């Protein structure tokens, strides 16, 4: 149980275009999902907390107009990188927490490698 998927696994886009990344909880409903960014050989940086039916909560320093998050249903959250630039190239990982979890563990998607050319 507790499987989280992401799509696509890899995407290459041109500078100035937008790209959407989907995160789905496959066998549970997730009222809260998290979006992280990971740079090479570095730890995860929390970008935002995605809340079903309400606005996402962004971490300090993360541009909400650039990284649009929509949590449209209890099993789907999307991250749209708008007007992407090469510096947005990174590994983006989502996670979710099944309801009733004792101890706050998270289940992670496999990640999306974004390359902006």
Partner 1 sequence: GDSVTQMEGPVTLSEEAFLTINCTYTATGYPSLFWYVQYPGEGLQLLLKATKADDKGSNKGFEATYRKETTSFHLEKGSVQVSDSAVYFCALAGGTNAGKSTFGDGTTLTVKP
Q: 3-class DSSP state for residue 86?
A: helix
When binding is defined by CB under 8 A, the residue of 17, 29, 42, 73 that contacts partner 1 is 42
CB-wise, 14 or 43, nearer to partner 1?
43
Is position 56 an interface residue for partner 1 (rule: CB under 8 A)? no
Is position 74 an interface residue for partner 1 (rule: CB under 8 A)? no
Is position 54 an interface residue for partner 1 (rule: CB under 8 A)? no
Is position 28 an interface residue for partner 1 (rule: CB under 8 A)? no
Separation between Cα atoms, residue 60 and residue 40, nearest integer Å: 21
Is position 89 an interface residue for partner 1 (rule: CB under 8 A)? no
Q: Which of 53, 11, 47 minimizes the C-alpha distance to 32?
A: 53
Separation between Cα atoms, residue 17 and residue 19, nearest integer Å: 7
Which residues contact partner 1 (rule: CB under 8 A)?
A: 4, 6, 32, 34, 41-44, 46, 49, 93, 95, 97, 102-111, 113
């Amino acid at each position: 149980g507790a499987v989280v998927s992401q799509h696509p696994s890899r995407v290459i886009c041109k500078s100035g275009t937008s790209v959407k990344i989907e995160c789905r909880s496959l066998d549970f409903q997730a009222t809260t999902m998290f979006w992280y960014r990971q740079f090479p050989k570095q730890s995860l940086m929390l970008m935002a907390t995605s809340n079903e039916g309400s606005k996402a909560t962004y971490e300090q320093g993360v541009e909400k107009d650039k990284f649009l998050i929509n949590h449209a249903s209890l099993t789907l959250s999307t991250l749209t990188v708008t007007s992407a630039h090469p510096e947005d190239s990174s590994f983006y990982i989502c996670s979710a927490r099944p309801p009733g979890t004792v101890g706050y563990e998270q289940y992670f998607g496999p990640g999306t490698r974004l390359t902006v050319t």
